[in-house]
Amino acid sequence: MTMRRLRSLIPILAAAAVSLPTATAWQQKGAFATGYYRNLFAEAGHSQPEITRKIDAAFQQLFHGDLDTQTVYYGAGKNANGPLAYLTDINNHDVRSEGMSYGMMIAVQLNRKAEFDALWNWAKTYMYQGSPTHPAYGFFSWSMKTDGTPNSESPAPDGEEYWTMALYFAAGRWGSGAGIYNYRAEADRLLDNMKNRKIIAGTTARGPETDGPEFDPTSKMVRFTPNNLRPNHTDPSYHLPAFYELWARWGPAADRSFWREAAAVSRDYFQKVTNPKTGLAPNYANFDGSPVAGFGRRAAFGPDAWRTEANWSVDWSWWEADPRERELSDRIQAFFESKGMDTYGSQFTLEGEQMVDTHATALVATNAVASLAATRPVATRFVEALWNAQIPSGRYRYYDGMWYLMGLLHCSGQFRIWTPK
């Protein structure tokens, strides 16, 4: 049977809930080369109609559910560019660049252009710094009040990373339009600023600030903040080599070699920054992989760091460039298995001492995404744990909900590469 014929049977096999072959049998060069994305839920025996219903229900609740207890997406009127909407952190009563960019990524993956455009319009209207003399010029405020007033005008680079990738994907899925909806031009401009923006000193709502590019030119690593008045370090969960490989192909030509090198640097960094026994990474770390001194719990494994395993696992799924990522997924899943599949906590020292006993849905989701790279049979149990989790609601539905929904997309093979037109 030819490979083309074999691939053509994938939807049929998934719909029939037939156990699919392992990743090794299908992905010789990763999803970018083959066009095949593993459906871990189908591999575990769930039918495609069941999977579709679960994802649709999650999107409906988190984007269009009850305003008080379910949704994190809120319409905010219109302006000259069309409808506006924001996605808010319910617990902290703010709008974050992280969540807005996640929301846009979810929208493009689910072919929800109206929600995508409304979120982008709000971000460009209220979060974007358009003054050439502002320290954050060309970037987005990381935290806003829901009325559009900034809490902090400083950027958080993970927001710019996800925005850039979501915009390129939008250009691929829908084609670019005009003005702020010229998705590819917006992505190119943002990506150029992330690497090349000049240093600007000035005043922000929180005082003086001097910002530069979001990537360190020497280490080729993403910075925790481009604020030059703060110590230069990184956040391991901001490292997204799967995205950098695409920017090395689609981004401004002059910087493509930089992004290719950045992908290799981040893959090596995953090995340096994770504990060799537990696989846990710190929330914040130095460029050499050591936790940032004096940061206390912020240098331990916590909510930021949960995402790190998803980043290396998606990188393996899309590119199959570094087999060491499979070892990392096996290691971290073995650690959480040892802590009790249904009872493990959410914050730990890097050596594995539990600091917070809350069993968080977002961590359940990233542990499931790790199964894209994992090789041990227990990987299926982590996928099933996400399948059995409830759609987050209530006070903490923002972060848990975004990663619950992104986890569903990753584990169903519906978090895909959309090549820009």
Active-site residues, by number, are: 98, 304
74: β partners = 86
Q: Which two tokens stand for residue 145?
A: 């009040």
Q: Cα angle vertex 50, ends 44, 51, to 5°?
A: 65
CA distance 363 to 131: 38
CA dihedral (166, 228, 154, 116) in degrees, to 10, reads: 0
- Evaluate whether 12 touches 40 at the Cβ level (below 8 Å): no
Pairing, β 73-79 against β 354-356: unpaired
CA distance 373 to 323: 9
Q: What one-character DSSP code corresponds to residue 124?
A: I
CA distance 160 to 193: 10
Give the DSSP per-residue string, 313-341. Answer: HHHHHHH---THHHHHHHHHHHHHHHT-T
CA dihedral (255, 406, 107, 185) in degrees, to 10, reads: 0
What are the φ/ψ torsions at residue 321 (nearest 5 degrees)? -95, -20
CA nearest 325: which of 335, 317, 313? 313
What are the φ/ψ torsions at residue 308 (nearest 5 degrees)? -60, -40
- Evaluate whether 334 touches 376 at the Cβ level (below 8 Å): yes
Interacting residues of 266 by C-beta distance below 8 A, sequence separation 6+: 221, 239, 240, 241, 244
Q: How buried is residue 6: exposed, middle or buried, by Cβ count under 10 Å (0-12/13-18/19+)?
A: middle
- Evaluate whether 301 touches 295 at the Cβ level (below 8 Å): no
